[in-house]
Structure 1
Amino acid sequence: MCTKQKGKKRLEDPGREGHRHRFYVILVQRDSDKMRLLLFPEHNIHSLDICTKNSPAQLQQLFAPSTTAWNEETAQIQLCKLKDWLKANRIPIEEDGNILKLQDVLEIHPPYKVENCVSSNEVVLGRIQGLITSMPEIGVTSENKEESENERIA
């Protein structure tokens, strides 16, 4: 359930055994065009200022599918580099069509970047994403790298 309270968005989760958990949803836009959606428990927020009235448009943009196109040739080059890199790091990766698989635990979809890794095992996902990030010419941008390092520290 989401309610608006004094310009803030509050999300209430009934939780188990009738305990209510309240979170505030905050949309942060940095200098670049990238946005982050953050959830904060209500007791951690002392004050909150609304900087812009464009929230609905920004939320639509945040959840819109990516329009970045990848070309097949570049994806094939990255596939080969990534396969070689993972094998050099003794990761038993297999190819299934255009998807790289680590047994039934992890999949890497084209264009074979950090954000294209899919796994339900957070430990495996984190380690493979770390390897991809440390790989020359295929990882993430420096901004995304800084964000992922901050998330690992937190």
Structure 2
Amino acid sequence: MRTRSDTRAEVPSDMTQWSNKSPLEWQDYINKEVKVYADEKNDYQGWLVTVDPVSTSIVLANFQEDQETLIRVIMGHAVQEVQVVDEADEATKDRLAHLFTPRETTSPYCKDDLEKKKLSLKNWLEQNNIPVSVQGESCTVLCVAGVLTIDPPYGPENCSSANEIILSRVQGLLQWFLNNQGETRLTSH
């Protein structure tokens, strides 16, 4: 943040009245380095990531030398004018596009282990006459009786269903399966 000592009359003529722009016009500022003049005689500079169409708030990103990114939100009511400083190159556009996407996390399970666990659980459910199918684009989700899903890594906490009774029972079965993986069929006592 920099403090501005100039007066409104000294603002360059190529500046834009932010509050008079439409959302389609705001789009022209995305992925560009901008200087934002705000109230309190403050100005901010950074890469414009997005504009909230309701509040007109601006999200700026500044890339630090240590690979960290500083994100700053300038509230729309404080924005007076915005000036384009620079255009983004392809590398900067790519970095801005992936700014808020989660980084790949390292899973304690490799794909082969997850596939074996999924198939083992699916086979066990089928052997115990529980209808199960594989769903999802990557075929990683198990669907039980069309009302419950089990996501990787296929533990009781990875179950989801709107039916709490079925959810509780399948979670119990799944816990039993994980504790007794050597046994193939449930036995009734």
The TM-score with structure 1 as length reference comes to 0.43
Structure ranking higher in helix proportion: 1
Q: Which has the higher contact order (CA 8 A, sep 6+)?
A: 2
Structure showing greater Rg: 2
